[in-house]
Amino acid sequence: MYPFAVVTVVVLSLVSTGGLASPLIKRASTCTVKSQRKAWENLTSAEKTAYINADVCLMAAPPAAGVPGAKNLWDELTYTHAAQSDYIHNVGAFLPFHRYYITAHATLIRSVCGYTGPLPYWNEPANVGALDGAAIFDPRVGFGGDGTGSSRCITDGPFAKTVLRIKEDLSTSNYCISRGLNDRSFNSAVQTNVNRCLAMANFVDAWNCIEAKPHSAGHGGVNGVMVNVKLSPGDPIFFLHHGYIDKLWWDWEALKLPARLTEIGGNNTAHGKNNPSFVNYFNDGGSITTLNHVLWSHNLVPNATIADVMDIGGDYVCSEFA
């Protein structure tokens, strides 16, 4: 049932630059059929159910990357984000890393869980001021609703009993998917903020704009696990939120093609952090993010470079917005 999950993968210390066993999933060489990326509201009920079932499947699929304490691939996917948090947020690689990361998730649900449908994103401006009624939180054909009680654990929908494990310090202990829907935080997802970002003239300004307002709105609006900068991918809504953020970057790129397929920049490290082990492995030849920058997922999927992910229709990402 999980044909790739039995492959043994060497445990990799994050700062190690040593060799690796072959990745869980082989890299696709040519893009033949592009994945369709669609707003959640435009999936049929059957497609929504199949997508949710694929996430449920990943949460039950045996771990394969050797993450200590991980019980399934979902834990390992979360670890990949948590372990690199300081080098994938507030840095030039923020948008490229998250494009790589949602592509890794898409690859896993297809390869391990047999998902064949469209890749959904959350059309956030449509829900500003009315988070509670958003289709995405539907308990039957959605991700379940708000958290309740002091723990803010969600109590309805397909993920009500989900056990998450990876902690901020990368140790493990069981916890729930928590949420605390917050319309005030979500207000900055409004279309006027999006338009402001799309009007930016260069990559660094567009990235900073997108990461600040529309990006933080989705995390703060859902709240709970989603507002945790390291652990937010534990809530499956993360992949729809970042599917949307990735669409905004693509919308910006698409305004000037092909020029913006090679526009990149920004610092590799944020907040004065400058761990040489990381800076070296990025392969940028310095502290500024370049197209050569290496994107890494603890070998859940093969390493890629930023150059690989610049074009959503290219061989690596191989998708298009329907």
Residue ranges binding ligand NAG (CB under 6 A): 16-17, 20, 39, 42, 123, 204, 266-267, 281, 294, 296, 303
Neighbours of 46 (CB within 10 A): 10
Q: Name which of 47 and 146 has its Cβ closer to ligand NAG.
A: 47
The nearest distance, CB 134 to ligand NAG, in angstroms, is 13
Question: What is the C-alpha separation between 306 and 91, in angstroms, rounded?
Answer: 13
The nearest distance, CB 14 to ligand NAG, in angstroms, is 8
Neighbours of 180 (CB within 10 A): 17
The nearest distance, CB 40 to ligand NAG, in angstroms, is 9
Q: Name which of 5 and 14 has its Cβ closer to ligand NAG.
A: 14
Q: Name which of 17 and 151 has its Cβ closer to ligand NAG.
A: 17
Asked if 199 contacts 191 with a C-beta cutoff of 8 angstroms, the reply is no
What residue spans of the chain are helical by DSSP H? 45-58, 73-83, 85-88, 94-111, 183-186, 191-198, 203-210, 216-222, 237-254, 276-281, 306-309
Q: In whole angstroms, how far apart are CA 148 and each of 64, 153, 176?
A: 33, 6, 12
Q: Name which of 261 and 294 has its Cβ closer to ligand NAG.
A: 294
Asked if 310 contacts 295 with a C-beta cutoff of 8 angstroms, the reply is no
Q: Name which of 39 and 119 has its Cβ closer to ligand NAG.
A: 39
Q: Name which of 12 and 164 has its Cβ closer to ligand NAG.
A: 12
The nearest distance, CB 123 to ligand NAG, in angstroms, is 4
The nearest distance, CB 82 to ligand NAG, in angstroms, is 16
Question: What is the C-alpha separation between 163 and 59, in angstroms, rounded?
Answer: 9
The nearest distance, CB 42 to ligand NAG, in angstroms, is 4
Asked if 240 contacts 121 with a C-beta cutoff of 8 angstroms, the reply is yes
